[in-house]
Structure 1
Amino acid sequence: MKKSLTAIAMLLASSAAQAEDKVTIEFAYPYSHLFDVTYEKILPKFNEQFPHIEVKMRATYESYEDGTNTVLREAVAGTLPDVTMQGLNRQAILVEKGIAKSLEPFIAKEKNFAKEGYHDAMLKLGTFDEATYGLPFSVSLPVGYYNMDVMKKAGITSAADLPKSWDEVVKVCGKLQDAGVKNPMFWGWNITGNWFLQALMWSQDKATMEGNAFQISSDEGLKSLETMKGIFRGCNMQNIEWKAALASFSAGEIGMMFWSTSALGAVERAKGDFELKTNEFPGLEASGPKGLPAGGNAAMLVSASKDPKVLDASWQWLKFITSGEGAADVARTTGYMPPNKAANEVILANFYQQNPNKETAVRQLPLLRDWQAYPGDNGLAVTQVVYDGIEGIVTGEHDDMAELQQELAEEIADLLPKK
């Protein structure tokens, strides 16, 4: 009996020690409708490998802008999470304000960590002053989504016949409307970070920002605004919120949708009984875009903890979700591309052959350009000004694009740093 009591005491002491060794970290990410299923896949694998680390999920951010605003507030209040997922174009402000920590000390301690495991163009998006602050978690490019059952009403029956330019898109809209389709097309003007304005600018090989200067005043800027007006008017596009647009397309009510490849997994899970095809993002010419902005998010270490155990646990989680199986689950559950070569070339060797709709963005990788941030403390305010201007084109409030161009240039110049 004495031996049994001793054994029980030893077991209880061991369990107590294990409980004391447990490290809890807090993690926050955006877009629950896209990523909840991803983390549901990743977390059990992480727990199996790191049973001493508990990852506590915070309430999700509504958008990348919300994520950045939230972290900025939390930095002041002293309530930061340990790891945060931020839009690729929102990393700079967290670095500039000293909120994000450099990952170089953690990388240096890794025996088997190789930066070249990440696609160079993707890793560059989280590198500032030659130091890595963010590891890319998911990368997307804009693509076209097509309900082929609806497209047949315009005489389009194969991917080869899908529109390659915006003029062709407008022509297809006309045919669909003649065939009785009430809402032939949705174009993602209201996507986060003015991403589609940058898509039109990069399509012309023109950066939206050059230094601290907003390039809407350029010929390419005017062409971008005129192209939007042509698409919205020519397709009689409804002014609907983006979640409603995705739901409407999934329900089979919209023939063409131009959006991030990120939503593909969600659309595939929600769509009705119709044939779905994705295809390359159209260009201003039939030859296609000259470049496209990289979308997606990166994992950043923003922990305010001084405890080495918490910081190490945060690094283990950050590294796990951006490499190997963690990165592969991004592709399996969403339409994002993994930023890690191991995930793409080894774990997902046959994945894209079996999932051709998810391969569209991969074919566009040579077009990948920066998703640019607006510099200075007013960057989010600039985003809103551009958003409001484009919405005015959708609603018909703005009809003279040269006039709108001048208004945007003047208002945004006042918000951007002068040097």
Structure 2
Amino acid sequence: NSSTPIAYYNVDMFAEAGVEPPAKGTSWSFSEMLEACDAIQASGVTQNCMALGQVGWYFEQILANSGGLYYDNNNGRTGRAQTATFNQGAGVEVFEFLTGLVANGYSPNLGNTWTDTDSVFLSGEAAIMFDSTSGAGGLQDGADFEVGTMFMPYADSAGDRNGVIIGGAALWLLDSEDDAKDAAAWDFMKFMAAEDQQVTWHTETGYFPVRTDISNNADLQSFWAENPNFVTAIDQLATTKTKLADGSPNYAVLGGRAGPAPAIRRFVVEAYSAVLDDGMSPQEALDVAVEKANQELSDYNAFFASEDDANTGSTTTAMADTDTSGIEPVTLEFWHAMGGDLGEVVDELVTRFNDSQDVITVNATFQGSYDDTYNALLAAFETGTEPNIIQNFDLASQTMIDTGRLVPAYQLMEADGFDSSIFIPAVADYYSDDNGMVAMAFNSSTPIAYYNVDMLKEAGVEPPAEGTSWSFSEMLAACDAIQASGVTQNCVALGQTGWYFEQILANSGGLYYNNDNGRTGRASEVMFNQGTGVEVFEFLTGLVANGYSANLGNTWTDTDSVFFAGDAAIMFDSTSGAGGLQDGADFEVGTMFIPYADSAGDRNGVIIGGAALWLLDSGDETTNAAVWEFMKFMAGEDQQVTWHT
């Protein structure tokens, strides 16, 4: 039963006040909504523009629509939520707007309620009301005036709407440990998701159908034609921006994920009262709510960390020696994050493996970006639908180990007599714990600096000698010479991505976390706001602030465009892009090592990036052995040459 909030309005009042609702497919900004409210109240059609219930859900939804995050770790989507962040930036702007609707006389102070708002709206004492789409039927039938619907508003600072988070509920199958019962439960779940039930549920409640393949259902089409208000929520969700401009996930609209979320929502409700009844400022009230939320998160995470330790006993699953020659025919599921041309190469390698023998068949499935693939795996763990093998990126390493679902690569290597010394030491070390490699290295990369050979020559600038890097001051001196020569306005095309900061910090000898970067104990604090970290960040932000690079924002692709167009002489990017950059440029492209902080004295080197292959324990040793055969194949010489070239 999926739903989202929408704004319901009194069509007659709007017409009498001369107010037009937002155009279809758009939302009002806060200032536009307040301007409409001023016109409505000035017209005398009602004393109250709004009937606002002080519920946490509206705050969460409008924060998402404004592009704000509720928790750290990308809203708890790329790691456990450790702290709430809704008392910052957009969160404060949203809360000032909502509490201001009451404080500034646009809505009566109705308190924490869902029902009193309906009463005020239906009695004609307010022109607008936020409510769930699930109430569309009742509101439409209960009003003695025409009810219209529109999208939720967004903060002016956001510039445009992002969209909303899915609400409502889902069906969860709890493992009975009886296969027949679980199968019966699954049959019921499938029945509830079937077309007839989805149509009935939608038309009789207002919760919208969750399936996209039934939009042409004749009954639905007829119902929507007669009841257009039911379509607003569907359109609002369908146009929600789940991806940012650079293709990465829009974690704001994916919604916050945290165990104690219900308790944290109550703290937001208390914050409304603290502002409207006790006189606190919105910032102060949110700070109190966040302090309480952080304690809840800390207690919850500590409890489940101890439960995980008790349940798993260790972070990895042991595997006995296996005789791979005895493998029965088996099909393996392989999830990966390689799209476009890279995805075609993955498919080529998988086909090569499948054709090389007739026992094991590998199905390769593209799951989206690294973040998408990571999140898909976490979701699959909850449903028991995880693959046999997954390509997961470098930043997922600790989470992969913590799942307790792995067969670590070193056990497979030892059982098979596999020589792990064939791997580049920096690669092997990154994916290792005290026992050895926990994953099979596959698509490894690092950042390098690409440069326009012609521009550097014309400016009289020599790149660093082979095997060396520029220090920050040496790179800035080169940039001054390049820009002074007039060959380009911008020395650098810099994408503001966290990876470059991490890598240049490492090259400068700085640590990101305590406990030796989380290698001699669990990381419990970040350290990048100290010493070298500050020096590195001042250098990177200074490239933009001091005119060496255009302000391109958080992007990977726009830097390529600027560099190809000859609007910059130097660009940081991954080694994985070398082929495309070389082929796509109409000038000679050179490469050099990334720079280091002057305080370091010399370069330290870089961290391995990219991704590795992880074997998820199926509980069946012969299946795991089949996966190992595929992993060995992918690490084989011919495949590595194909992948690299």
Offset of residue 142 of structure 1: 2.1
Q: 1:229 aligns with which of 532, 538, 541?
A: 541
Output one character per residue of 1:201-246: Cα deviation in whole Å (capped at 9) or x when no partner. 2233121111222112422222122212222223133314212222
Q: What is the CA–CA distance in structure 1 between the aligned matches of 2:512 and 2:376, rounded to whole Å?
A: 26
Could you say if the C-alpha distance between residues 180 and 107 of structure 1 is closer, same or farther in structure 2, counting changes exceeding 3 Å? closer
Offset of residue 48 of structure 1: 3.4
Moved over 6 A (4+): none
- Tell me what 1:48 maps to: 355
Q: What is the CA–CA distance in structure 1 between the aligned matches of 2:410 and 2:596, rounded to whole Å?
A: 39
Q: What is the CA–CA distance in structure 2 between the aligned matches of 1:268 and 1:22, rounded to whole Å?
A: 43
Is 1:66 paired with 2:379?
Answer: no
- Tell me what 1:130 maps to: 435
Aligned partners of 1:144 and 1:279 also within 8 Å: yes
Q: What is the CA–CA distance in structure 1 between the aligned matches of 2:545 and 2:355, rounded to whole Å?
A: 54
Could you say if the C-alpha distance between residues 289 and 120 of structure 1 is closer, same or farther in structure 2, counting changes exceeding 3 Å? closer
Could you say if the C-alpha distance between residues 38 and 226 of structure 1 is closer, same or farther in structure 2, counting changes exceeding 3 Å? same
Is 1:30 paired with 2:337?
Answer: yes
Q: 2:569 aligns with which of 243, 249, 255?
A: 255
Local SS of the residue matching 1:263? helix
**What is the 5 A alignment of 1:180-199?**
181-190=488-497, 194-199=498-503
- Tell me what 1:346 maps to: none
Q: What is the CA–CA distance in structure 1 between the aligned matches of 2:602 and 2:355, rounded to whole Å?
A: 45
Local SS of the residue matching 1:255? strand
More helix by share: 1
Aligned partners of 2:496 and 2:552 also within 8 Å: no
Quick one: which amino acid aligns to residue 39 of structure 1? V
- Tell me what 1:166 maps to: 472
Could you say if the C-alpha distance between residues 100 and 307 of structure 1 is closer, same or farther in structure 2, counting changes exceeding 3 Å? closer
Q: 2:615 aligns with which of 279, 301, 305?
A: 301
Q: Which has the higher contact order (CA 8 A, sep 6+)?
A: 1
Q: What is the CA–CA distance in structure 2 between the aligned matches of 1:117 and 1:52, rounded to whole Å?
A: 27
Output one character per residue of 1:19-42: Cα deviation in whole Å (capped at 9) or x when no partner. x96422121222424632432442
Quick one: which amino acid aligns to residue 557 of structure 2? K
Report the more deviating stretch, 117-126 or 153-162. Answer: 153-162
- Tell me what 1:276 maps to: 589
Q: What is the CA–CA distance in structure 2 between the aligned matches of 1:205 and 1:160, rounded to whole Å?
A: 21
Q: What is the CA–CA distance in structure 2 between the aligned matches of 1:219 and 1:319, rounded to whole Å?
A: 42
Q: 2:507 aligns with which of 200, 203, 222?
A: 203
Q: What is the CA–CA distance in structure 2 between the aligned matches of 1:27 and 1:206, rounded to whole Å?
A: 36
Could you say if the C-alpha distance between residues 268 and 50 of structure 1 is closer, same or farther in structure 2, counting changes exceeding 3 Å? farther
Aligned partners of 2:463 and 2:592 also within 8 Å: no
Q: What is the CA–CA distance in structure 1 between the aligned matches of 2:642 and 2:594, rounded to whole Å?
A: 24
Local SS of the residue matching 2:366? coil
Aligned partners of 1:252 and 1:272 also within 8 Å: no
Quick one: which amino acid aligns to residue 507 of structure 2? S
Quick one: which amino acid aligns to residue 100 of structure 1? L
Gaps of 5+ in 2: 1-326, 516-523
Local SS of the residue matching 1:216? coil
Quick one: which amino acid aligns to residue 409 of structure 2? L
**What is the 5 A alignment of 1:320-331?**
320-331=633-644
Aligned partners of 1:41 and 1:329 also within 8 Å: no
Q: What is the CA–CA distance in structure 1 between the aligned matches of 2:328 and 2:405, rounded to whole Å?
A: 27
Aligned partners of 1:24 and 1:55 also within 8 Å: yes
Q: What is the CA–CA distance in structure 2 between the aligned matches of 1:307 and 1:300, rounded to whole Å?
A: 16
Query: Which structure has the greater CA radius of gyration?
Result: 2
Local SS of the residue matching 1:282? coil
Q: What is the CA–CA distance in structure 1 between the aligned matches of 2:431 and 2:462, rounded to whole Å?
A: 41
Offset of residue 188 of structure 1: 4.2
- Tell me what 1:394 maps to: none
Local SS of the residue matching 2:355? helix
Q: What is the CA–CA distance in structure 1 between the aligned matches of 2:545 and 2:509, rounded to whole Å?
A: 25
Q: 1:99 aligns with which of 398, 405, 413?
A: 405
Output one character per residue of 1:248-283: Cα deviation in whole Å (capped at 9) or x when no partner. 4345443211122222123234x1321011112122
Q: 1:310 aligns with which of 601, 607, 623?
A: 623
Could you say if the C-alpha distance between residues 158 and 164 of structure 1 is closer, same or farther in structure 2, counting changes exceeding 3 Å? closer
Quick one: which amino acid aligns to residue 390 of structure 2? T
The percentage of counterpart residues that share the same residue type is 22
**What is the 5 A alignment of 1:383-398?**
none
Could you say if the C-alpha distance between residues 314 and 279 of structure 1 is closer, same or farther in structure 2, counting changes exceeding 3 Å? same
Output one character per residue of 1:103-149: Cα deviation in whole Å (capped at 9) or x when no partner. 344323314x1122223332222223415320111332221101212
Aligned partners of 2:336 and 2:367 also within 8 Å: yes
Offset of residue 307 of structure 1: 4.1
Q: Considering only aligned residues, what root-mean-square deviation do their CA atoms show, in Å?
A: 2.9
- Tell me what 1:341 maps to: none
Quick one: which amino acid aligns to residue 635 of structure 2? T
Q: What is the CA–CA distance in structure 2 between the aligned matches of 1:224 and 1:265, rounded to whole Å?
A: 28
Q: What is the CA–CA distance in structure 2 between the aligned matches of 1:210 and 1:221, rounded to whole Å?
A: 13
Q: What is the CA–CA distance in structure 2 between the aligned matches of 1:298 and 1:223, rounded to whole Å?
A: 31
Q: What is the CA–CA distance in structure 2 between the aligned matches of 1:31 and 1:42, rounded to whole Å?
A: 12
Q: What is the CA–CA distance in structure 1 between the aligned matches of 2:341 and 2:493, rounded to whole Å?
A: 19
Q: What is the CA–CA distance in structure 1 between the aligned matches of 2:455 and 2:472, rounded to whole Å?
A: 18
**What is the 5 A alignment of 1:82-97?**
82-97=388-403
Q: What is the CA–CA distance in structure 2 between the aligned matches of 1:253 and 1:278, rounded to whole Å?
A: 17
Quick one: which amino acid aligns to residue 408 of structure 2? S
- Tell me what 1:81 maps to: 387
- Tell me what 2:528 maps to: 216
- Tell me what 2:453 maps to: 148
Aligned partners of 2:426 and 2:607 also within 8 Å: no
Q: What is the CA–CA distance in structure 2 between the aligned matches of 1:93 and 1:223, rounded to whole Å?
A: 29
**What is the 5 A alignment of 1:303-382?**
303=617, 305-332=618-645
Number of aligned pairs? 306
Could you say if the C-alpha distance between residues 228 and 27 of structure 1 is closer, same or farther in structure 2, counting changes exceeding 3 Å? same
